[in-house]
Amino acid sequence: AQRVTQPEKLLSVFKGAPVELKCNYSYSGSPELFWYVQYSRQRLQLLLRHISRESIKGFTADLNKGETSFHLKKPFAQEEDSAMYYCALNPSNTGKLIFGQGTTLQVKP
Amino acid sequence: GAVVSQHPSRVICKSGTSVKIECRSLDFQATTMFWYRQFPKQSLMLMATSNEGSKATYEQGVEKDKFLINHASLTLSTLTVTSAHPEDSSFYICSAPRTGTDTQYFGPGTRLTVL
- How far is residue A12's CA from residue A108's CA, in Å, rounded to a whole number? 7
Q: How far is CA B78 from the centre of its chain?
A: 6
List the single residue in A36, A43, A95 with the smallest CB-CB distance to B34: A95
Q: What is the pLDDT of residues A72-105, one digit of tens each?
A: 999 999 999 999 999 999 987 788 999 999 999 9
Alpha-carbon distance B109 to nearest alpha carbon in chain A (angstroms): 7
Sequence-ordered strand ranges (E) for A1-109: 3-5, 10-14, 19-21, 24-26, 33-38, 45-49, 60-61, 72-74, 83-89, 98-99, 103-108
What part of A 34-63 touches B (C-beta under 8 Å)?
Answer: 36, 42-46
- Residue in B49, B104, B105 to test binding to A, most A beta-carbons within 10 Å: B104
Alpha-carbon distance A34 to nearest alpha carbon in chain B (angstroms): 10
How are strands ordered across the β-sheet holding B4-7?
B4-7, B19-25, B76-81, B67-73
What are the pLDDT tens digits along chain B (115 aa)?
Answer: 679 999 999 999 999 999 999 999 998 988 899 999 998 878 899 999 999 888 999 999 999 999 999 998 999 999 999 999 999 999 999 999 877 777 889 999 999 999 9
Alpha-carbon distance A100 to nearest alpha carbon in chain B (angstroms): 6
* Residue A91: partners with Cβ closer than 8 Å, 6 or more residues away: A2, A27, A29, A31, A32, A98
List the single residue in B32, B43, B59 with the smallest CB-CB distance to A102: B43
Rounded to whole angstroms, what are the CA distances from A42 to A84, A85, B75, B99, B107?
A: 10, 12, 22, 24, 10
* Residue B54: partners with Cβ closer than 8 Å, 6 or more residues away: B71
